[in-house]
Amino acid sequence: MTTKEHVARIRVQNSGSVILSSGDKGGVGKSFALRCAAHNLNRWQLDWHGFDGDARNSHLVRFQPGSQIEPLVLKVDSDFDRLLDKIEGTDPRFHILIDTPAGSGDVIERRGDRLVKLAQLLGRPLIRLFALDEEDDVLMAIQREAPAMGLGNIVAVLNGRFGPRSSFLLWEKQRRGGLPSVRDAVLGAGGTEIYLPVLPPLPRMEIRDARCTFAQALDGRIDLSFSQRSNLSDWIAEMEAAFEPFRARIEGR
C-alpha cells in the first residue's frame, strides 16, 4: 500500500501509534518495557502489530505467542528503511510495537528523522519507550538522538530492576554549564516518565522458561505456588498502574 493510499484511509479512521523501544545499551530493559506495553495494549483491547528487531534477544517473538510479530533485523541504514516500508504497509488502525537491539542508536541517529516524518505523514503518534538504568549511558543516548527525533515523544521508563525511584540521580541532575537535567529537558518538551516496578525473580524465571505473557502466567499457563502467584498478581497491578501515563499518550490525552 502506498503512502497516498494510507493517507486517504487515515482521513476516515483513527491511526494507531508507532511505539519504539529504545535505550541503546544491552540489558537496560527496553525489550521488557515493550512487553509491558504489549500487555497493556492487550488489556485495553487494542490491536497491534509487532516488529522484533532484536534478533539475539527477541522478546516479542518469544513472549507474545499467538501475536502478529515479524522478525526484522535492525543493524544498518537499509534495515531501518525496510522498517519504514513495513510501517507504511501496516493497517493504520493497528498500533505498531518495534523492539530495537543493543547498539541501534547510531542507526536511529542517522535515520530517526525519517521515522518522525513518516509518522507525521501517516497521522500516527510516535512514542519512544526509553528504558533507563541509574547510569549515564542511556542519558547520553537520549541527547544524541534528540536532533533526529526530539524529546517530546519520549516515555522514559525508569527500570526498577536497578533500584528504587530515588536511585535515578543522574536523570535528575543538572547538566554542566547550567543546562537543565535530562529529566527536565524531556518533561519540558512534553515527554513523560514512569517508574516500572521490578518483577519478582521466581515468577520472572518461570515466565522465561514457559515463554508466555504475564497474563498467561497468571491464568495458569505455568504452575506457580500461592505466594508466587500472589507476588505476580501484585506486580501486574503495579505495572498496569505505572503505565497509565503511557495510556494517556496512546489516547492523545
The grid coordinates listed for 176 are: 554542566
> What average pLDDT does range 31-46 have in this prediction?
95
Looking at residue 253, its pLDDT comes to: 67
Residue 230 identity (one-letter amino acid): S
pLDDT category of residue 22 using cuts at 50, 70 and 90: confident
Which pTM was predicted?
0.91
The grid coordinates listed for 202 are: 521466581
Tell me the DSSP string of the chain. --HHHHHHHHTTS--PPEEEEE-SSTTSSHHHHHHHHHHHHHHTT--EEEEE--GGG-HHHHHSTTS-EEE---SSHHHHHHHHHHHHTS-TTSEEEEE--TTTHHHHHHHHHHHHHHHHHHT--EEEEEEE-SSSHHHHHHHHHHHHH-STTEEEEEEGGG--GGG-HHHHSPPGGGPPPHHHHHHHTT-EEEEEPPPPHHHHHHHHHHT--HHHIIIIIS---HHHHHHHHHHHHHHHHHTHHHHHHHTT-
Please check the confidence at residue 10 and state whether its pLDDT lies above 50: no
Looking at residue 75, its pLDDT comes to: 87
Q: What is the pLDDT of residues 172-185, one digit of tens each?
A: 999 888 889 999 99
Residue 248 identity (one-letter amino acid): A
Looking at residue 5, its pLDDT comes to: 57
Please check the confidence at residue 35 and state whether its pLDDT lies above 80: yes
Q: What is the pLDDT of residues 188-207, one digit of tens each?
A: 999 999 999 999 999 999 99
Residue 11 identity (one-letter amino acid): R
Q: What is the pLDDT of residues 48-97, one digit of tens each?
A: 999 998 877 778 888 888 778 999 988 899 999 999 999 999 999 999 99
Looking at residue 197, its pLDDT comes to: 97
Q: Cα(194)–Cα(210) distance, rounded to whole angstroms?
A: 28
Higher local confidence (pLDDT), 4 or 102: 102
